[in-house]
Amino acid sequence: MAAVMRATGVPGTGVTDAEIIEFSAREPECFAEIFDRYYTEIHGYVARRLGLNLADDVAAETFLIAFDRRERYDVAYAFARPWLYGIASNLVSRHHRAETRQYKALARVGVEDRLEGHADRIESRVDAESTRGLLASALAAIAPRDRDVLLLVAWAGLSGEEAARALGVPAGTARSRLHRARKKVRTELGGADPTTVGEDA
Amino acid sequence: MMDELKILRDAWGDADAPSQDSYVQARAALLAKAGGAGQAPRPGRRGFRLPNIGVRLVVVGAMAVAVAAGVTAVQTSGGTGGDGRPRSVLPGIPAGPVANAAEALDRAAAAADSRTFTPPRPDQWIYIELRTRTTVKESGGVTGGPYRTIVRRYWERGDGKKSARIVNGQVRIFDEFGRTIPPNDYPSLAALPTDPDALLRWVYTQDGEKPGSEGQHQMAFQTLSVILRENLLPPRTEAAIFRAMKKIPDVTLVDDSADAAGRPAIALGRVAEGWLHEEVMLDPKSYAYLGERIISIKGHTLRGIGDDPHVVAGYVKKGVLQNLTVRTAAGIVGAPGQRTP
């Protein structure tokens, strides 16, 4: 999954993230290349978790912090994605209340939609909107630390190992957090309509 | 078999792209920080606002920015006589004021064509000095004074493999970091098409903008401006740039009596982002390249960045100078750290 999400083909240069970060220790402005490669996706990730307004701020700050820490980047890793997502994830965690509020708002919308749909089409499949409502209420209920791993894997497309590295926790810890979070999501979806949700997906 | 991860991903679909404003401001904040990072910390001067960063860098591309950030440039070799003063008359170029941007660009191209030029040897260094007048603020748009002037000096080796800057008072030589877009190494610049149409085609393929869109025209003009500003160019290449600029839509003469830091100048350019006018400045007599200027042409609200994104960072009124960059040296020297006389 991570491979699919990973940016392919970097325009202009065949240079890896690690090389750029290493080089930026001497030529700080080169770090702009890292920004260009990842700002849009980091922004998108944060926007899903916190909404657009906070995303502008948090995504910008992610790169300022990354820049400050560039000399501590482990250049053994060619791709900077996990590292950047880790920083973004830590920043998002400062806004847990805003994040939960956002999921609760989505959950409300989703459930209402679903009820209306249900009245019209008794055996209707669960549409994306109502699925999202259910998922949002599940996300609101998941412990923040578990949610971090879940969303790094589901939305950012990191592997479990990359998520662990991003968050600075042992791989086993990340695995068990992911397991817990997935179970919670499954329960939420399964409780609603397991078969149709499965097909819809 | 239920895959919660896939369901979770599909349910949210693709995220909306960040707004242009957010991209520009986040990038400017990063570059303001990066620009200051190479300098010794000094009270009251922690970094600086990079020239045009907000407007240009998004479209021109990352490594271009790295270049643009580090530099700011100019070519005086063509426009001045032995005494350093602009030549008053150039053979083949009509005297008298220009009527429009096309005429000014034609004369600039003819002036470049008539210039003698000895290319740098691979072991020689190109020296560029730029003086940028911009706000004392560290980042963001310029809402007004006070202004300050930042002087940037850098060297590029003739073979394009090394560059040099002054870091903490010492000359430091860096390995050049591969090819950049647009190029800033002499071999690549000298290899650019000297036919204006071919050059324009090349410029228009340097980005992912929609063909024929305003974004593409803007990008093309900006790219050519950056190449002009930051490099010592073979005269034929410089002439081709002026002729290519002429072919970009909506380039207009805005001022035949602009002030390039105390020198009279002709300014011509395009509207960018709907609220800025980006201009190239030429000497009114010799038509040599002098530098560039960015001015707000209508009011614009800037959004904050940092701790609170909801704060309006400022309002830029019409007619506020955003950036004035004058190239005060562009020549060839024997070693990094040396300046042209």
Q: Are B299 and B288 in contact (CB under 8 A)?
A: no
CB B263 within 8 A of CB B277: no
B18: nearest CB among A24, A40, A54:
A40
User: How much of chain B exceeds pLDDT 90, in percent?
Assistant: 32
Inter-residue contact B79 to B87 (CB < 8 Å): yes
Cα–Cα dist A118/A110, whole Å: 12
- pLDDT tens for B21-30 read 888 889 888 9
pLDDT for position A119:
42
Cβ contact A104:A136 at 8 Å: yes
Q: What pLDDT, in 10s, does the model give residues B269-312?
A: 999 878 889 899 999 999 999 999 988 898 887 654 433 344 56
pLDDT value for B308: 39
Sheet holding B276-282, edge to edge: B170-175, B162-167, B147-157, B125-135, B321-333, B289-296, B276-282, B263-272, B252-260
- Chain A: nearest CA to B339, how far in angstroms? 22
Task: To the nearest 10°, report the CA torsion of B259, B265, B266, B269.
Answer: -60
Shortest distance between the Cα of B268 and any Cα of chain A, in A, equals: 29
In tens, the pLDDT along B170-186 reads 787 877 645 565 788 89
Residue among B59, B69, B71, B72 nearest B29 (CA): B69
Q: What is the mean pLDDT of residues B300-328?
A: 70
Yes or no, beta carbons of A13 and B178 under 8 Å apart? yes
Q: Are B323 and B303 contacting, i.e. CB atoms less than 8 angstroms apart?
A: no
Which residues have CB under 8 Å from A180's CB, separation 6+? A142, A143, A146
Residue closest to A84 by CA, chosen among A39, A147, A53, A140: A39
ipTM tops 0.85: no
Of B22, B63, B309, nearest to A13 by CB-CB distance is: B63
Sign of the CA dihedral running B37, B181, A44, A80: negative
B239 closest CA partner among B77, B110, B96: B110
Q: What is the pLDDT of residue A10?
A: 36
Q: How far is B73 from chain A (nearest CA, A)?
A: 17
Cβ within 8 Å, pair A27-B30:
no
Please identify among residues 180-239 of chain B the ones whose CB lies closer than 8 Å to any CB of chain A: 180-181, 208
Which is more confident, A193 or B12?
Answer: B12
B316: pLDDT strictly greater than 60 = yes
Is B18 in contact with A131 (Cβ distance < 8 A)? no
Rounded to the nearest angstrom, the minimum Cα separation between A126 and chain B is 11
Residues of A in contact with B29 (CB under 8 A): 60, 64
Residue bearing the bigger pLDDT, A181 or B146: A181
> Which tops the pLDDT comparison, B318 or B43?
B318
- Of B208 and B121, the one with more pLDDT: B121
Model pLDDT, residue A201 = 31
pLDDT at A72: 83
B60: helix, strand or coil: helix
Taking 80 as the threshold, does the pLDDT of residue B36 lie above it? no
What residues in A contact B10, CB-CB < 8 Å? 128, 201
In the predicted structure, residue B246 carries a pLDDT above the cut 90: yes
Q: Is B303 on the interface with A (CB under 8 A)?
A: yes
| Average pLDDT for chain B | 76
Helices (H) and strands (E) in chain B, counts: 9, 11
Contacts A111 to B, Cβ<8 Å: none
Q: Does A40 contact B11 at a Cβ distance shorter than 8 Å?
A: no
**Structural domain boundaries in chain B:** 19-333
Asked if the Cβ–Cβ distance from A135 to B7 is below 8 Å, we say yes
pLDDT for B61: 31
Inter-chain contact A54–B305, Cβ cutoff 8 Å?
no
The answer to whether the Cβ–Cβ distance between A59 and B22 falls below 8 Å is: yes
The residue ranking higher by pLDDT, A157 or B135, is A157
Q: Which among A34, A46, A106 is positioned nearest to B15, based on CA atoms?
A: A46
**What's this model's pTM, rounded to 2 decimal places?**
0.52
As a whole number, mean pLDDT of residues B140-147 equals 71
Q: What is the pLDDT of residue B102?
A: 95
Q: List per-residue pLDDT tens for chain A, 201 residues long.
A: 222 222 333 333 457 888 888 888 888 888 998 998 899 999 999 999 998 888 999 999 999 999 988 888 888 788 899 999 999 999 998 888 888 888 888 777 644 444 444 444 433 344 556 678 888 888 988 989 999 999 999 999 898 888 988 888 888 888 889 999 998 888 877 754 434 333 333
Angstrom distance (rounded) from CA B143 to CA B302: 9
Q: What tokens were used for A44? A: 């998108």
Contacts 24+ apart (CB under 8 A), B177-180: B177/A15, B177/A23, B177/A27, B177/A30, B177/B63, B177/B66, B178/A13, B178/A15, B178/B63, B179/A12, B179/A13, B179/B63, B180/A12, B180/B63, B180/B64, B180/B66, B180/B67
Which of B44-48, B174-178, B241-245, B317-321 ranks highest by mean pLDDT? B241-245
CA distance A113 to chain B (A): 14
Q: How sure is the predictor about B208, in pLDDT bands with cuts at 50, 70 and 90? A: low
Residue B313: its pLDDT value, please?
A: 62
Length reported for chain B = 341
Of A27, A47, A67, the CB nearest to B33: A67
**So what's the pLDDT on residue B326?**
92
Instruction: Count CB-CB contacts under 10 A for residue B213.
Output: 10
pLDDT digits (tens, 9 = 90+) for B75-118: 333 334 344 444 445 666 777 788 899 999 999 999 999 999 99
Residue B308 contacts A, CB cutoff 8 Å:
yes
Angle between helices A32-50 and A17-24 (to 10 degrees): 110
> Among A92, A5, A96, A116, which Cα is nearest to A43's?
A92
